[in-house]
């Protein structure tokens, strides 16, 4: 399941207006040297004029200066295809931050256990991500959520067992970090090396990973689907389940957004780098979004890798309808048991209409054009 918040930036234009040069002697009736010469002082235009046998400055009207028109700030139009990466990212983050403010008064329903660890920078990063994630989401857990962050696997396993889950917390993720995640309430991490946070290289430290995996637990609790598979597998009995791009993409978006916000950083600064965590494989991110619906087995790229495309698609959803409504798709599924029904009910457009718009806008928002296609379960380059 493995896999930051950018406020809108307003460009300030500095206007330099070049006025004709003026000297201290430029004033009404003062002598000047050349008839017809024009000069401006204190915003008033003077003309050198012959008066009898003398040339003197004669005051005219206030000088007119041109100023740039005030920038026009347009409201983001839901499902617009006239956008770029920055516009999309900023609107999504504006909506996410607006939602975050509504969670300030929520009561945490969360247990956090951290073992003493010499890798203090990384532990601090994970703790901040977990603190923020719990503030935002733990009220969605009727039974409460649990995060265990250990220096050794044995201690982590022991603490998880005390909280009702017997497991080996040994899934490799990145250098110095292994993790584990149950189907209900608990996640664990073993931290064996240190790393500091870099806003331009988010995700390497583990903070975004923790928030990503925690959101998977949120998904399962909102959808009231904690014990079974929730991703389309290609099998008939899973036809109404969630697409892989939505499960992993929304977790990726939340992971990076929460990771950045917990460090007082911006999602936008690290956005390009987020794509670098995809495998170095030719087809990555090059299929139409419909090809990222199913996961056939246990790998991140079986048969396609849904994270990058899914994260950008989640930006598009959050920018268009807000973060709460993205969550509402999950909670509505608890009743409908059908992703497409819940998606259309909450978003106001069908899944097919969304796919058409997203594939139209994808190259404008950071994704490559479509050049691969699923043929059954085999991904093939389009000739």
Between CA 294 and CA 21 the distance in angstroms is 71
Six-digit token string for 219: 């998904």
CA quadruple 210, 212, 324, 312: dihedral positive or negative? positive
- Strands 38-41 and 44-51, by their bridges, are antiparallel
- Give residue 6's pLDDT: 37
The reply to whether 370 falls in a domain is yes
Same domain, 38 and 170: no
Dihedral of CA atoms 90, 94, 95, 100 in degrees, nearest 10, equals 130
Alpha-helix residue ranges (DSSP H) falling in 166-243: 207-222
CB 20 within 8 Å of CB 39: yes
Same domain, 46 and 147: no
Same domain, 39 and 92: no
Dihedral of CA atoms 132, 133, 135, 137 in degrees, nearest 10, equals 160
Same domain, 366 and 225: yes
Between CA 299 and CA 5 the distance in angstroms is 29
The reply to whether 166 falls in a domain is yes
Query: Assign residue 111 a region: left if phi > 0, alpha if psi is -120 to 50, beta otherwise?
Result: beta
Element (H, E) at 336: helix 323-336
Same domain, 43 and 180: no
Same domain, 231 and 302: yes
- Strands 145-150 and 186-191, by their bridges, are parallel
Between CA 171 and CA 104 the distance in angstroms is 33
The reply to whether 7 falls in a domain is no
Same domain, 58 and 93: no
Same domain, 362 and 261: yes
The reply to whether 253 falls in a domain is yes
Ordered strands of the 38-41 beta sheet: 38-41, 44-51, 54-62
Say if residue 303 is preceded by a cis peptide, omega within 30 of 0.
yes
Six-digit token string for 18: 């070049």
Same domain, 32 and 136: no
DSSP assignment of 132-179 equals: HHHHHHGGG-TT-EEEEEESSHHHHHHHHHHTT------EEEETTEEE
Six-digit token string for 222: 């909102």
The reply to whether 2 falls in a domain is no
Domain holding 22, by residue range, is 18-66
User: Count of CB atoms within 10 A of residue 153's CB?
Assistant: 16
- Give residue 284's pLDDT: 97
The reply to whether 39 falls in a domain is yes
Where among 33, 66, 99 does a domain terminate?
Answer: 66
- Give residue 72's pLDDT: 45
- Give residue 19's pLDDT: 31
The reply to whether 6 falls in a domain is no
CA within 13 Å, CB half, 315: 33
Q: Provide the number of structural domains found in the chain.
A: 2
Write the CATH number for 327.
Answer: 1.10.390
Q: Integer distance in angstroms from the first to the last C-alpha of the chain?
A: 32
CA quadruple 78, 84, 85, 86: dihedral positive or negative? negative
Between CA 15 and CA 355 the distance in angstroms is 44
Six-digit token string for 351: 């899944």
Element (H, E) at 187: strand 186-191
Between CA 79 and CA 97 the distance in angstroms is 20
DSSP-assigned letter for residue 297: S
Same domain, 32 and 139: no
- Give residue 67's pLDDT: 46
Same domain, 317 and 231: yes
Between CA 131 and CA 114 the distance in angstroms is 12
**Tens place of pLDDT per residue across the chain (383 aa):** 544 333 333 333 333 333 333 344 588 888 888 888 888 776 677 888 888 788 888 887 655 444 444 444 457 899 999 999 999 999 999 999 999 999 998 999 999 999 999 999 999 999 999 999 999 999 999 999 999 999 999 999 999 999 999 999 999 999 999 999 998 999 999 999 999 999 999 999 999 999 999 999 999 999 998 655 689 999 999 999 999 999 999 999 999 999 999 999 999 999 999 999 999 999 999 999 999 999 998 889 999 999 999 999 999 999 999 999 999 999 999 999 999 999 999 999 999 999 999 999 999 999 999 999 999 999 999 98
Same domain, 61 and 164: no
CA angle 77–273–153, rounded 5-degree value: 120
């Amino acid at each position: 399941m493995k896999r930051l918040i950018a406020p809108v930036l307003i460009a300030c234009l500095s206007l330099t207006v070049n006025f004709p040069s003026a000297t201290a002697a430029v004033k009404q009736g003062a002598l000047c040297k050349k008839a017809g010469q024009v000069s401006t002082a204190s915003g008033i235009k003077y003309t050198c004029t012959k008066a009898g046998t003398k040339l003197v400055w004669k005051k005219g009207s206030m000088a007119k200066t041109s100023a740039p028109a005030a920038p026009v700030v347009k409201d983001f139009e839901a499902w617009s295809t006239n956008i770029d990466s920055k516009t999309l990212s900023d609107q999504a983050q504006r909506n996410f931050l607006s939602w975050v403010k509504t969670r300030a008064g929520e009561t945490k329903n969360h247990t956090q256990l951290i073992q003493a660890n010499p890798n203090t920078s990384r532990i601090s990063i994970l703790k901040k991500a977990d603190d923020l994630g719990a503030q935002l989401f733990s009220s969605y857990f009727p039974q409460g959520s649990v995060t265990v962050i250990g220096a050794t696997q044995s201690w982590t396993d022991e603490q998880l067992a005390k909280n009702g889950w017997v497991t080996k917390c040994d899934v490799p993720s990145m250098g110095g970090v292994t993790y584990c995640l149950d189907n209900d309430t608990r996640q664990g991490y073993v931290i064996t090396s240190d790393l500091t946070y870099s806003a331009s290289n988010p995700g390497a430290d583990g903070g975004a990973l923790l928030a990503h995996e925690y959101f998977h637990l949120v998904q399962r609790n909102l959808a009231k689907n904690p014990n079974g598979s929730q991703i389309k597998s290609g099998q008939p009995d899973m036809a109404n389940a969630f697409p892989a791009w939505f499960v992993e993409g929304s977790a990726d978006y939340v992971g990076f957004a929460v990771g950045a916000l917990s460090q007082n950083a911006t999602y936008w600064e690290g956005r390009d780098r987020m794509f670098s965590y995809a495998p170095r494989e030719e087809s990555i991110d090059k299929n139409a979004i419909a090809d990222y619906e199913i996961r056939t087995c246990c790998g991140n790229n079986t048969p396609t890798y849904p994270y990058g495309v899914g994260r950008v698609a989640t930006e598009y959803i959050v920018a268009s309808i807000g973060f709460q409504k993205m969550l509402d798709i999950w909670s509505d599924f608890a009743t409908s048991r059908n992703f497409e029904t819940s998606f259309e009910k909450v978003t106001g457009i069908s899944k097919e209409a969304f796919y058409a718009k997203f594939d139209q806008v994808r190259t404008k928002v950071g994704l490559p054009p479509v050049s691969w296609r699923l043929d059954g379960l085999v991904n093939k380059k389009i000739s």
